[in-house]
Structure 1
Amino acid sequence: MLNNEVNDKKAQEMKKENYKKYVKQKTPVHALGTNMFRAFLTGGIICTIGEFLLNWCENMGMTKEIGGSWCSLILVFLSVLLTGFNIYPKIAKWGGAGALVPITGFANSVAAPAIEYKKEGQVMGIGCKIFTIAGPVILYGIFTSWVLGIVYCIFGKGV
């Protein structure tokens, strides 16, 4: 009986060891430095395009506020257009957070589900699925601003 227990423990340890080897083999290796460089480069290019658009709008005679609105609008439009042609997901895969954090990434997160689920119809496809990724961001953004507004009303009047 004791011999069977020892064999069972050895078998369990072998299974654990084999599983650890399997997990290590299947787990993707990430090069942190390379990923950071790609994100920095991608985000920098997007921001450079944004600055170019801001300067262009100002040179066209727009105020800074109106130029900023046009810049955001154009960047969102370009992001949705590139998402529609399946180019932006490739940029996001290569650039990581550099492509997903700016406003272009938010536009991509709204447009991608709409494109993916359009075959299910206007209501059940696009209408139900369009905010699957962006919805939590909007929800918690509004909730956080509401909580901060309450905190400001209670504590910030004297400031």
Structure 2
Amino acid sequence: MGNKTEKDVQAYRDYVKTKTPVHGLPLNMVKAFLTGGAICTLGEFILNYAEKMGLDKDTSASWCCILLIFLSVLLTGVNLYGRIAKWGGAGALVPITGFANSVAAPAIEYKKEGQVMGIGCKIFTIAGPVILYGIFTSSLLGLLWWIAKEMGVIR
């Protein structure tokens, strides 16, 4: 059972090679650029429209974020954002819309398990590590900045 022949090892390598997806980096980069660019263009449109309607820059930015998050959650709910993310890769996952999707998708998926054990427990399955390490890293960098400022390294 432990004796594997070279033929078995090669057969396994061939099998793995046929099952492993091949990704074209240049094409994926173009798709991510187009997807992220479309999201950012939509965000700029919302921002400019809100300012044109008389809102100040900060309020316009808040409405832009709220609407982008709402659209992301809505598209997640009708099972479209996953398709966009699959096609656009990081272009759809990196902006705030991707974070909203990562929170909404588990909530929708585990809704059938109930409010507490389903949605409550699973809502931050994907986003939780991002929040955790984001807070940890920003706290660490803040501490380093404070130490450097106290030592006179920076002003």
Q: What's the TM-score once normalised by structure 1's chain length?
A: 0.91
**2:50 — aligned with what?**
57
Q: Aligned-pair distance for 1:119?
A: 0.3
For 1:117-156, list aligned pairs within 5 A. Answer: 117-156=110-149
CA deviation map 1:17-76 (0-9, x unaligned): 111111111111111121111111000000000000110011011111111111001000
Number of aligned positions between the proteins:
150
Q: Aligned-pair distance for 1:12?
A: 1.2
Residue in structure 2 matching 1:94, options 87, 100, 125: 87
Mapped to 1, the partners of 2:65 and 2:135 lie a distance apart of 20
Say which is worse superposed, 122-131 or 148-157, in terms of deviation: 148-157
Give aligned-pair identity as a percent.
69
CA deviation map 1:86-115 (0-9, x unaligned): 111111111111100000000000000000
Aligned AA for 2:140?
V
Residue in structure 1 matching 2:35, options 37, 42, 49: 42
Aligned AA for 2:95?
P
**1:105 — aligned with what?**
98
**2:73 — aligned with what?**
80
Aligned AA for 2:127?
A
Mapped to 2, the partners of 1:128 and 1:96 lie a distance apart of 27
Mapped to 1, the partners of 2:26 and 2:5 lie a distance apart of 38
Larger Rg belongs to: 1
Displaced runs of 4 or more, over 2 A? none
Mapped to 2, the partners of 1:147 and 1:15 lie a distance apart of 50
